[in-house]
Structure 1
Amino acid sequence: MAAVHLDLVLPCLDEERALPWVLGRIPPGVRAIVVDNGSTDRSAEIAEAAGALVVREARRGFGAAANAGLEAADAPYVAFCDADASLDPAELPGLLDPVLAGDADLVLGRRRPTSGSAWPPHARFANLVLSTWMSRRTGVRLHDLGPMRVARTEALRGLGIRDRRSGYPLEMVLRASAAGWRICEHDVPYAPREGRSKVTGTVRGTFTAIGDMSRIFAEVGR
């Protein structure tokens, strides 16, 4: 793993409590790109002190932050992960291996909750609905939208993902499938996050995300 240069994009909005643990779990050979999406806490300072590349994206939205991180990446491989300590960056080698071996083009981390509080029922239900839709559209049995994921950097840029809100992860999967990419899943532990999620922390936020993703299903060609 140390010989492979992988950039890890971490979209970040007020995650000063989680970042020390997240950045401390980065495997050798991986560079952290923390995209500050308008934090009002010390997230950016903590990331810089830990040696991460900090990119500032003023336009609010997960997709805007993720795209800014992708544009800043210069490694041959790129990964994405939430910065809230719910996912462990130490799991990245397991996601990267199928890409390195030529067995997959996009690997999604299938979340396996470590406790009942890690995944609220409304968020779990929303993920089940989205996974069912994704499976039907892609022809691949998928169980999770997979916030932790790995792909080749230039190939991912070439997909032309346009969404800049919460539909970004879904659009990536749908465009990858339409381009003939091989998509697979790899199990990763999923722990309770630090603080409340900006998307799935409330029922309203969850269903707003579903609305965004319904739009992506309609916009991205079958």
Structure 2
Amino acid sequence: MPNPGSAMAMGAIQVVIPARDERETIGHVIGQLRRQGLDRIRVVDNGSRDGTATIARQLGAEVLREPRPGYGRACWLGCLDLAPDVDWLLFCDGDGGDPLEELPRFLELIDDHDLLLGDRTATAVGRASLTPLQRGGNRLATTLIGLGWGFRYRDMGPLRLVRREAFAAMALRDRGYGWTLEMQVRAIELALRIREVPISHRPRLAGASKISGRWGASLRAGWVILTTLGGLWMRRVLRRGQRR
């Protein structure tokens, strides 16, 4: 059970879960969050056709509808109209892979950080959960960010906790799968206090991945990495030029 200090921190967290066709797993995810003392749970239904939204609503989650496809678009909708006392945003997937029972380790670090990221590559269980395509995408993204911005991340995973003020300062523009990339790049540019937290990520509990394991989708994801980081680099160059 969370201690009183943890309970207070949990009350200041808004959970955002972008979900599409996660009927078989969304109940598990909501249950895990509730067991950690998290009550502000938003499920953003990103065009599901399997009743994901109905299940989430029956379990007491706030359900928002974003029919236009786009991971970042769903995440963005979930961040609008926040209650005044929300201090943190927690992003997680609806497939049951994120080890939400490990969230107390994130809470131990929130006083000294602005962005906490689950690092799947730091544990044997987490590494085993990644497909070769996911590992390749990770290496590509983290290497390019290291070359372009001088900060080497280990992972680009979905489990992330960001301070509300820091999130607002990021002014994220991407509304697709480049959302997570842009968040991590903007965190570097804003000199935020970043920490990657080792987590024992698992493969999705049920259903099919929208990207990993599918060569066509994975190739498109690789293209997203290249074009997103290229665009962010050009924006950085232009900002530098304007300051001269």
Structure 2 length-normalised TM:
0.84
Matched residue SS, 2:18:
strand
Partner residue, 1:205: 217
Determine whether 1:64 maps to 2:77. no
Change (3 A) 1:97 1:28: same
Aligned residue type for 1:170: L
Query: Where in structure 2 are there 5+ consecutive unaligned residues?
Result: 1-5, 237-244
Native 8 Å contact 1:73 1:153 kept in 2: no
Deviation at 1:55? Answer: 0.9
Deviations 1:19-43 (A, max 9, x none): 1111111111442110000100111
The 5 A counterparts of 1:1-222 are 1-4=6-9, 5-26=12-33, 27-74=36-83, 75-99=86-110, 101-102=111-112, 104-111=113-120, 112=123, 114=125, 118-193=129-204, 194-220=206-232, 221-222=235-236
Change (3 A) 1:116 1:110: closer
Matched residue SS, 1:86:
coil
Deviations 1:143-194 (A, max 9, x none): 1012100111232023111111100000011111111112120011111112
Change (3 A) 1:43 1:113: farther
The worse-fitting range, judged by mean Cα deviation, of 194-203 and 142-151 is 194-203
Within 2, Cα distance between the matches of 1:144 and 1:171?
Answer: 14
Greater Rg by CA: 2
Query: Where in structure 1 are there 5+ consecutive unaligned residues?
Result: none
Question: What is the aligned-residue identity percentage?
Answer: 34
Within 2, Cα distance between the matches of 1:87 and 1:186?
Answer: 13
- In terms of fraction of residues, the more helix-rich structure is 2
Native 8 Å contact 1:140 1:183 kept in 2: no
Deviations 1:102-127 (A, max 9, x none): 2x211110014638862211221111
Native 8 Å contact 1:9 1:33 kept in 2: yes
Native 8 Å contact 2:178 2:228 kept in 1: yes
Deviation at 1:96? Answer: 3.5
Aligned residue type for 1:200: S
Native 8 Å contact 1:109 1:148 kept in 2: yes
Native 8 Å contact 1:113 1:119 kept in 2: no
The alignment of Structure 1 onto Structure 2 pairs a total of residues equal to 220
Change (3 A) 1:115 1:105: closer
Within 1, Cα distance between the matches of 2:49 and 2:198?
Answer: 33
